[in-house]
Amino acid sequence: MNRKIVLAVASALVTAFVFSMAFAAGGEGNARKGKFLYRKNCRSCHGKTASDLSPATKTQAEWEALFADKAKIKCSGDWTIKEKDLIDIYSYLHGYAKDSPSPAKCS
């Protein structure tokens, strides 16, 4: 097998494992840090207003499904974000989703 393919598959498996462990642990990332990272890394491409992309634009299940298969996210190939930081961003988005106990009103 081509070395690049092997590395890509290994990376995908590690990423899936890290996220599955985070989901199993209830998304044990740091949501406060995730909010900062989200604003720094995501809002620059996905709009400046809360209605463009915010935690409240999706349900908790939708955020979980999206992060469970990051290949479905069009911009994921351009990410330079560490896995721990992605877990923090996920914790923020999931924790303040539109069906959460405390949905985000403004991001």
Residues 23-65 have pLDDT tens digits of 444 558 999 999 999 988 887 777 666 557 889 989 999 999 9
Alpha carbon distance 34, 91 (integer Å) = 7
* Overall pTM surpassing 0.75 (yes/no): no
**Helical H runs in 1-107?**
3-24, 31-41, 43-46, 60-68, 83-95
pLDDT reported for residue 45:
77
> Is the confidence at residue 100, as pLDDT, over 70?
yes
pLDDT, one tens digit per residue, over 69-85 is 888 877 888 888 898 99
